[in-house]
Amino acid sequence: MGGMPLNDMPWWRWRSNVRSALHMLSDPGFQRDVWLAGVDGYGDVTDAVYRLVEDTWLDNWSAEKYVGTIFRDSQEAALVDTAVLRVLRIMHQVGPDAQVSAYLDHHGWPEAVRAARDAHIRLATSDGDDPDAPPRTLEVLRIMTRVA
């Protein structure tokens, strides 16, 4: 979230939260080294899912509704929809209060990670950011969405 202006989309704060969630959900190394290890500052799987759907209601309707406000085009929206559906399916099966390992060990997790990765790459690239940079802490996200 450093290449293009962070606030070039009308609802850029929501885009930032969705991007943060997708970034964490798309990185197996991060999940192992941070979530499984219990490192503070990044939340957990449930926090990431909440950031993905809390303001956007992407658990109730398509990201297509937000083309031009959160998402730049229909391709971004379609990739986000796929990721949301994969992740929510697993959350409903294991429960929102499950241990991180329950998500990571779920047979559908690699597919969810792949879908989140596809969406993350598209959004990060569209914003002029390096999709392979490590995820930022939630505090950095709060600061970025407060000041831009």
Mean pLDDT of 23-48: 97
List CB contacts of 16: < 8 A, sequence separation 6 or more: 1, 6, 141, 144, 145
- Tens of pLDDT along 46-99? 999 999 998 899 999 999 999 999 999 999 999 999 999 999 999 999 998 999
**Where does residue 133 rank: exposed (0-12), middle (13-18), buried (19+ CB within 10 A)?**
exposed
- Tens of pLDDT along 96-139? 899 999 999 999 999 999 999 999 999 999 999 999 999 999 99
Residue 119 and residue 38: Cα distance in Å, rounded?
25
Phi/psi of residue 116, each to 5°?
A: -65, -40
Residue 117 near residue 146 (C-beta atoms within 8 A):
no
Give SS3 for 67. Answer: strand
User: What is the reported pLDDT for 131?
Assistant: 96
User: What is the reported pLDDT for 2?
Assistant: 47
pTM of the complete model: 0.93
Band of pLDDT at residue 13, cut at 50, 70 and 90: very high
Mean pLDDT of 10-25: 95
